[in-house]
Amino acid sequence: MRGRAKKVLRGLSVQNVAGSSGVINYPTSVHSVILPSPVHPLLNRRKNFKKGGFMKKLFWLVPVLLVFVVSCSRTPAPPTIETHPTSLRTIHGPDLSTKQDSSGIAMALSATIQGINEFAEGTYGFLGALDSLTDDLGDYEYSDGTWTWEWSYGVYSWRITCTESSSGYTWRWYFNGELYYEGFVNKDGESGWWKWYSLGEVYFSFEWQDTGDGGYIRWYDGDLDTGTLYISFEWTVGSNYVELSIYSFGYYDYEFTIREYDDYHGYAYVKENGVQVAYIEWDTSGNVVAWDMSK
């Protein structure tokens, strides 16, 4: 394409030398041709001046058009998989290894803190499998707003697609042609949802919203619209602390409220079916300094 452009420019870059006889000399790279001028030499000069201005504009326009064509044809890079809110922070919590109680509050609180931390790190349940793909997707194909990754090993095959819309990205992960995971994340990263499929039906799902200084995660047994809500996290990030309220629904409805400061000391209280049953406080080393079992 560059050679053709040079040839065109060489053919258009003509110097006219008018003599008293009204003859114009058109030099070329091979030989010169003498042609009679159809108009007065002065008009030729004016006309050639206009041609020279046009050629200057064309000379600068060609590289601009080339840059525009190259930039428009470049394949856009795919987004990064996002599986969880980023303002949710991990909790150190108290050391409850020496605390035992008949109602299992200590065990439930430990399990709750572990779940919070796994969500904050993106390793909870199938999130770990999704997050591990972030750096391992490799080469992809792109067509009509969809990125596609495919690879196989023996009789096993995987395919991941990401489709861009005006508001966000929809991800789908297939194993041997069967849909296993599906998710949607807004372009601003403030909200999203993920679903885990089993035998063609949604087995688990969750949704989240993250404003940067707080948010929520809601986990469902089944689909988002038709499933049963069985755990919910809500959190607020303060200037020197994070506070979470965790609701667990089932035969017993538990509510855990946990506040931990930047130096890792904090407190938690537990409600069972709306009644407070425990209060725990710990120091910066995680040592329990208050243990009040109200029940």
What is the pTM for the complete model shown?
Answer: 0.69
Domain positions in the chain are 2-73, 105-293
Q: What angle do CA 118, 124, 129 make, to 5 degrees?
A: 125
For the segment 32-52, the average pLDDT, to the nearest whole number, is: 41
Is 45:16 a contact under the CB 8 Å cutoff? yes
What band does 37 get if pLDDT is binned at 50, 70 and 90?
very low
Rounded Cα distance, 34 and 32, in Å: 7
pLDDT digits (tens, 9 = 90+) for 184-234: 999 988 999 999 999 999 999 999 999 999 999 999 999 999 999 989 999
Q: Which residues contact 239 (CB under 8 A, 6 or more apart)?
A: none
Q: Over the chain, what is the mean pLDDT? A: 78
For the segment 42-53, the average pLDDT, to the nearest whole number, is: 44
Is 94:286 a contact under the CB 8 Å cutoff? yes
pLDDT digits (tens, 9 = 90+) for 243-268: 999 998 877 788 999 999 999 999 99
Residue 294 scores a pLDDT above 90 = no
pLDDT reported for residue 119: 86
Rounded Cα distance, 146 and 46, in Å: 55
- CB-neighbour burial class of residue 125 (10 A; exposed 0-12, middle 13-18, buried 19+): middle
Q: When comparing pLDDT for 146 and 75, which is higher?
A: 146
In angstroms and rounded to an integer, the radius of gyration of the C-alpha atoms of the chain is: 35
Q: Which residues contact 243 (CB under 8 A, 6 or more apart)?
A: 235, 236, 257, 258, 259
Partners of 159 in beta bridges: 150, 174
Helix, strand and coil content of the chain, in percent to the nearest 5, comes to: 20, 40, 35
Is 267:242 a contact under the CB 8 Å cutoff? no
Is 171:156 a contact under the CB 8 Å cutoff? no
Q: Both tokens of residue 258?
A: 């946990």
Pick left, alpha or beta for residue 84 (phi over 0 → left; psi -120 to 50 → alpha; otherwise beta). Answer: beta
pLDDT reported for residue 32: 37
Q: Both tokens of residue 159?
A: 């395919």
Q: Both tokens of residue 16?
A: 């006219």
Is 217:107 a contact under the CB 8 Å cutoff? no
